[in-house]
Every structure is written in structure tokens, then in C-alpha cells.
A and B are shown apart, each in its own frame.
Chain A
Amino acid sequence: MDASPVGVPAVHRSGVEVQSGLVVQALSPAGAATRAALARRTKRRLWAVALVLAAALGFLIYKVLTSAIVYFKTTNQAVAERAQLGSSTFQIEGVVVPGTLRHRVGGTLDFSIRGGGATVPVENTGAPPQLFQANVPVVLVGHFIGGSDTFASDQILVKHSNAYIAAHPGRVRGPTGKVVR
């Protein structure tokens, strides 16, 4: 990732060089051919770069418009739109309701999420992230199970707030002490 900026030596492509190159060309008819070949190569390379960048740009703008703008539906929103949603895949957001977590045989994890006054029961397959626990806000990827209001999720993403609180405020050590692990 860092290779590209490091490898971009704007240095020798600066207009200055090109300009002096033009002068050289003007002054020496012999060098004109090499210069022209060089210019052609630069041009080809720039077009290739432009093409790749344009493709990436197009893809990302598409992603912004499709995934990013409505990244998830809140629980109450999903419940309200239950009929239209059918069994299509989407992201749902809610807070894990304490006391609803239940591990079933076979690895399925049952729990409920709550948000905006609505509650949705969830059946999750796949391993939840290590920070998953009751009372945390989560975003689930999945779909409603046909005919029921249960959400079948195959991925849990744990949202965390922008607040940071020391785990053991009373036990923070000074510079010489060791950190509480």
C-alpha cells in the first residue's frame, strides 16, 4: 500500500524536466526521436494508470451509493419494513438484549436485539467476535427467515462507542509499575 506513494517520484516527471527536455529537443534534432519515444511511453503509462484509477473510483462510488449510504436498518425500521424486506439480505442494527443469549447445540447462537422500541429474535451461525456480549450494539448481516420474524444472521459486527474508560481506574499504575492486564 505504501509502495505506490513511495514509488511515485514526481521528481523526475516535473514540468521542469519536461520543459528542459523540450529545449534539448529543440536544440538537438538528433535527440528528437528518443524524446518522442519517451513521451509516447509516458503517455501510455499515464493512460494505463488513469484507467485503473477510474475503475477503482467507479467501483468505490458505486459502493458509496449502494452500501455506504444506508449501511444498516435499525431494528424498529426492519420490523416496520418486514413485509417488503422478504428474505432479502441486509444489515440490521440493535443492542443485544441481556438474558437472551443461548448457545444451541451445533453452534447456533440465539439472542435478541432491541432498538427503537422493537425487538427482533436472532439466530446466528458462525463465530461471534471476541467482544460480543450482552448490552453492546451490533450490526448483523443476514435476512429474515421466511414466514417468521426471526433474523438469521451469519455475521455479527460489534459496534463500539467513542468512549474509552479505563478497565480498572483505581489500579492504574505509575510509570514504573506494570500495566494491569
Chain B
Amino acid sequence: MNGYVEAGYVVGLGTLAGYAASLVARERSARRRLAGGGVRQVAAPSASESPAPGGEPSTVERPASPAAAPPPRHRR
């Protein structure tokens, strides 16, 4: 057509799709942390270095959440 129209559609819909994907990825990793890095680690303290099983490529940072990372740090 003339470039601008296509650019508008691509940028608009592409950004929304990207944002949506990031929400989905963040939710997935949050659920994984909740499922894997949860309380059961207390029962098995030796295997607690990596909190979540399986690493899915996620666009989102995985901050040191108190549910996952810090507890091992306080262990001793």
C-alpha cells in the first residue's frame, strides 16, 4: 500500500502480541516457581539450589523471589 499503513498495523498488533506473550510467559514461570520452588524444598534441602525444574525461555527476568532463591541462602 504505502508502507505507513503496514507499519502501523505491524507495530500496533505486534506490540500487543508481544505484551500478551510476555504475560503468558511470566505467568508460566510464576506457576513453575510456585509448583517447584515451594515448601517441599524444606523437606529436601540438599536439592534446593535451582528452584524450578526445566527452564523455559522466558522474556521476563527471573528475579530472586523469596519463594525460590533466598531461602537456600539463609540455610546455614
Q: List chain A positions with a Cβ less than 8 A from chain B.
A: 1-2, 5-7, 9, 11-12, 17, 20-21, 24, 28, 30-31, 34
Q: Identify which of B36-44, B46-54, B59-67 touches chain A.
A: B59-67
How far is A2 from B12 in the complex, measured between Cα atoms in Å? 10
In the complex with contacts A11-B30, A12-B65, A17-B65, A6-B70 CB distance below 8 A = no
A selection of 26 A-B contacts at a CB cut-off of 8 Å is A1-B15, A2-B18, A2-B19, A5-B19, A6-B18, A6-B19, A6-B22, A6-B59, A7-B60, A7-B61, A9-B60, A9-B61, A9-B63, A11-B26, A12-B65, A17-B65, A17-B66, A20-B66, A21-B66, A24-B66, A24-B74, A28-B74, A31-B70, A31-B73, A34-B70, A34-B73
Please list the residues of chain B having a beta carbon within 8 angstroms of any beta carbon in chain A.
15, 18-19, 22, 26, 30, 59-61, 63, 65-66, 70, 73-74
Q: A9-B60, A12-B63 are known contacts. Are A24 and B70 too (CB-CB below 8 A)?
A: yes
Chain A binding surface, main DSSP class: helix
